[in-house]
């Protein structure tokens, strides 16, 4: 996927003025934020479970190469083929080769954010393979030629009227308006695509080292269909998704759906190991697993390592006041919200996403809700520091910070400068006691006035009151 994070600021203005998007985002808050709050109470030891989950993820990262090797060995022993991809281009090449090898013409795909990183659909179509996205949200986006705006609810930015129009146009059927009717129409259009597919492509929420299995969680059942009906199954996922045992994956499953959609468990949890036996009625004859690096190994051993704990639940974006106001597209790449503000600059370069580490109020909500306890606000702060040390800030910002730093270390100078400033601002506020313009902060005052200071500093008033 093309990275357009550089246009963050321009995009934000657009999104804030998009009334339809604003309505859609408030729905997300009700369903996901309140849903999560209601359902985490089912687990008395929610905090203890979060701590255990973080420990599981850290245990894997500490010995990631060994866990991957163990996983690979187990998966191969059960008849799967394991491929390693360093980049998105590698993924596209490997999948295209698999498609050619097995004479694949049609692909049914369930949701995978990793393949969004690679732009896999375009690559396959370029190679003459037809690809159908089967997750309802992703299918709608494929019809509309749009990118997902949320990692769990990809089409959150559209309302049912948009989707009704889109279906009527693309399906050439009478326009439906009820949500159940729209879902039924998509089901009936997509069922033949599942049946006709030669190859199914899925992600994997987890890889289990103990058994060599790929595990996927879905609600719609499309994940089960693409891994059951076609004769070839390709599972594509990040190298960090491996977990040691069935018990470990169970602990993580107690947190993932609760944090994501406020469900105790998703409708389907499917653990896939190896290929079908000759006597089996269904299942793929060929099972390929692609382990994707694409920048992940560069986080290991550094100050961003804890980001590799991420299990892609989306809770951080659901609870982020910035995401709640601008949605996912403004972030300009695959991953939005706080986790995206860390992953995007880390994967595609800080210079290509300079605004993202600053797209946060550091209110801390993301860190509080993260099921694997990633210190997201700390990581964002560290990226800001890195930006400064790499000289990626504007000269004005650097100068202002330098001046402030010099002043802050000299209390007498600081007191005097503030004293003079508040008096000037008091004078500028006039009778109205409001500032309509501030030099150097026109962006701030364009949308609102700033109340003028009343003329004295806090320190002056404090001293005065103490004396009287």
Partner 1 sequence: MSARERILARIGTAIGNHDAEIDAYLVEHPRGPAPALRDNLITHFRERALQLSSDVIEVAHPGEIPAQVAHYLAERGLPPRGACWPVVGSLPWGEANLEIAVRGANSQDMVGITGTFCAIAETGTLMMLSGPETPPSNSLLPETHIAILNTRRIVASMEDAWDLLRKEHKAPPRAVNFISGPSRTADIEQTVTLGAHGPYRVLIILVNA
Residues 240-259 that bind partner 1 (CB under 8 A): 244-248, 250-251, 253-254
Residue 169 near partner 1 by CB under 8 A: no
**CA atoms of 75 and 98, how far apart (whole Å):** 17
H/E segment holding residue 133? strand 130-133
Identified binder of partner 1 from the candidate list 1, 113, 140, 348, rule CB under 8 A? 140
**CA atoms of 86 and 297, how far apart (whole Å):** 9
Q: In this chain, which stretch among 115-123, 215-223, 365-373, 460-468 interacts with partner 1, using CB under 8 A?
A: 215-223
**CA atoms of 351 and 98, how far apart (whole Å):** 35
Nearest to 20 by CA among 154, 147, 162: 162
**Shortest distance in whole angstroms from residue 301 CB to partner 1:** 4
Residue 86 near partner 1 by CB under 8 A: yes
**CA atoms of 159 and 7, how far apart (whole Å):** 25
Residue 227 near partner 1 by CB under 8 A: yes
Q: Which is nearer to partner 1, 238 or 340 (CB)?
A: 238
**Shortest distance in whole angstroms from residue 317 CB to partner 1:** 14
Residue 196 near partner 1 by CB under 8 A: no
Chain residues 293-312 in contact with partner 1, contact rule CB under 8 A? 293, 297-298, 300-302
**Shortest distance in whole angstroms from residue 107 CB to partner 1:** 16
Per the listing, tokens 């150097």 go with: 440
Instruction: Retrieve residue 417's tokens.
Output: 């400068």
Residue 228 near partner 1 by CB under 8 A: yes
**Shortest distance in whole angstroms from residue 140 CB to partner 1:** 7
Residue 20 near partner 1 by CB under 8 A: no
Residue 275, number of CB atoms within 10 A of its CB: 18
Chain residues 47-76 in contact with partner 1, contact rule CB under 8 A? 48-49, 52-53, 56, 59, 61-70
Identified binder of partner 1 from the candidate list 119, 221, 364, 455, rule CB under 8 A? 221
Residue 103 near partner 1 by CB under 8 A: no
Residue-by-residue DSSP string for 243-285: ES-HHHHHHHHHHHHHHHHS-SS-SEEEEE-S---TT-SSS-S
- Output DSSP code: residue 205: S
Strand extents, DSSP E, 280-397: 286-292
Residue 177 near partner 1 by CB under 8 A: no
Residue 282 near partner 1 by CB under 8 A: yes
């Amino acid at each position: 996927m093309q990275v357009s994070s550089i246009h963050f600021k321009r995009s934000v203005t657009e999104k804030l003025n998009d009334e339809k998007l604003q309505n859609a985002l408030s729905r997300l808050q009700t369903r996901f934020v309140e849903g999560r709050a209601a359902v985490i109470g089912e687990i008395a030891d929610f905090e203890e479970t979060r701590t255990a989950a973080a420990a599981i993820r850290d245990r894997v990262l500490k010995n990631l190469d060994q866990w991957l090797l163990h996983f690979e060995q187990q998966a191969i022993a059960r008849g799967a083929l394991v491929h390693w991809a360093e980049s998105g281009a590698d993924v596209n090449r490997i999948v295209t080769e698999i498609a050619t090898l097995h004479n694949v013409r049609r692909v049914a795909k369930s949701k995978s954010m990793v393949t969004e990183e690679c732009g896999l659909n375009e690559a396959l179509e370029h190679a003459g393979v037809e690809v159908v996205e089967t997750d309802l949200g992703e299918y709608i986006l494929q019809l509309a030629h749009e990118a997902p705006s949320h990692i769990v609810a990809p089409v959150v930015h559209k309302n049912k009227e948009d989707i009704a129009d889109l279906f009527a146009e693309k399906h050439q059927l009478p326009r439906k308006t009820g949500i159940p009717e729209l879902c039924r129409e998509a089901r009936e259009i997509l069922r033949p695509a599942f049946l006709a597919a030669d190859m199914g492509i899925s992600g994997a929420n987890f890889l289990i080292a103990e058994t060599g299995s790929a595990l996927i969680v879905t609600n719609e059942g499309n994940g089960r269909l693409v891994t059951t009906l076609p004769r070839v199954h390709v599972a594509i996922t990040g190298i960090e998704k491996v977990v040691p045992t069935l018990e470990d994956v169970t602990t993580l499953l107690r947190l993932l759906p609760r944090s994501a959609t406020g469900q105790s468990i998703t409708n389907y949890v499917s653990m896939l190991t190896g290929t079908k036996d000759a006597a089996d009625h269904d299942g793929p004859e060929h099972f390929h697993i692609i382990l994707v690096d694409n920048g992940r190994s560069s986080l290991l051993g550094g100050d961003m390592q804890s980001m590799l704990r991420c299990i892609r639940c989306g809770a951080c974006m659901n609870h982020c006041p910035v995401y709640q106001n601008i949605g996912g597209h403004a972030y300009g790449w695959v991953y939005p919200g706080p986790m995206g503000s860390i992953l995007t600059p880390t994967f595609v370069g800080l210079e290509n996403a300079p605004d993202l580490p600053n797209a946060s109020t550091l209110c801390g909500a993301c860190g509080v809700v993260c099921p694997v306890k990633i210190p997201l606000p700390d990581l964002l702060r560290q990226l800001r520091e890195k930006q400064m040390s790499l000289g990626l800030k504007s000269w004005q910002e650097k100068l202002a910070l330098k001046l402030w730093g010099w002043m802050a270390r000299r209390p007498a100078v600081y007191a005097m400068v503030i004293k003079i400033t508040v008096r000037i601002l008091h004078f500028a506020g006039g009778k109205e006691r409001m500032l309509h313009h501030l030099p150097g902060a026109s962006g701030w005052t364009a949308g609102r006035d700033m109340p003028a200071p009343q003329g004295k500093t806090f320190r002056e008033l404090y001293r005065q009151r103490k004396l009287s």
